[in-house]
Structure 1
Amino acid sequence: MDPKLINWLAVIVAALSSFMVGGIWYSPKVFGNTWMKDTGLSQDEIRKGNKARAFGMTAFFSLIMSANLAAFLAAPTTTTGAQAGFLAGVWTFSAIAIHSLFELRSWRLIFINGGYSVVSLVLMGAILGAWR
């Protein structure tokens, strides 16, 4: 892997896209209320959480995911980038499912969290593939 071949601005934009997807995905109008119910978290507990840590670490790990995908991605097009993102999403969905099964989580929660991962990585891959 040659780091000179990576478009680092695209990596940052792709990482930020996961915030957009997450904001929509986990909103109360989409999966937020169901996610809270299945995790056993309340609005009060979420409000009391350390948002700086959660968002800071999310940004950090999103950058790692995006840079990792860019390093593996020899995708000259949006379509092949999205396909590579989908395949990476299948990996992460599988890891989420394995951990969640041992945590005795519901299939609904597995599909909410795993689905977010797949959609987020497809968008990341599409951005990285389009912006070569």
Structure 2
Amino acid sequence: MDLLNPLAIVVAAVSALVVGFIWYNPKVFGTAWMQAAGMTDEQIKGGNMLKIFGLALVFAFLLATALPGIVIHQMGAFSLVGGDEANALPSYAAFLADYSDVFRTFKHGAFHGVFTGIFIALPIIGTNALFERKSAKYIFINSGYWIVTLGVMGAIICGWR
């Protein structure tokens, strides 16, 4: 039984850019973020957008490939057989027959994605921002983006089988 949907991984990666387009829109948090980050319109417009969005998509894809281990509980059993179902004991197939659909919902994936954002992204962004002498506003805008984005990504990856 396939635990992963490769298309879900790709869509989850793209969802990070979609959420970013909304989150960092000037009518949402974009203007506040620019102020908190110390960015100007000239700096924003002067960037190599193909490079920025291309690398952002690559990074989002890396996140999307790491999230199944967090949002899909059955990945733990998969890792125990060394990632090779063909060499697994019969008990592995029996386990998946009984539990392959347990907690495989969009809601459950969003739950774990949000907690990943709170307990992983927030501390990383917060620590960097403190040393960069950025404000709490900066921390909460950027961490909020990742909490929402990881929630969306987790929902897609866990729920879309």
Normalising by the smaller structure, the TM-score range is over 0.9
Partner in structure 2 of residue 86 of structure 1 = 114
CA–CA distance in 2 between the matches of 1:93 and 1:57? Answer: 21
Matched residues, number: 130
Q: Deviations over 1:55-95 (max 9, x none)?
A: 01100000011110023332511111011101211111111
Partner in structure 2 of residue 99 of structure 1 = 128
Match of 2:32 among 28, 31, 34: 34
Runs of 4+ in 1 over 3 A off after TM superposition: none
Aligned Cα root-mean-square deviation (Å): 1.4
Structure with the greater alpha carbon radius of gyration: 2
Q: Percent identity?
A: 40
Q: Where do 5+ consecutive residues of structure 1 fail to align?
A: none
- Which residues of 2 match residues 1-132 of structure 1 at below 5 A? 5-74=3-72, 75-90=103-118, 91-132=120-161
Q: If the length of structure 1 is used for normalisation, what is the TM-score?
A: 0.93
CA–CA distance in 2 between the matches of 1:38 and 1:84? Answer: 28
CA–CA distance in 1 between the matches of 2:138 and 2:121? Answer: 14
Q: Where do 5+ consecutive residues of structure 2 fail to align?
A: 73-102
CA–CA distance in 1 between the matches of 2:106 and 2:30? Answer: 29
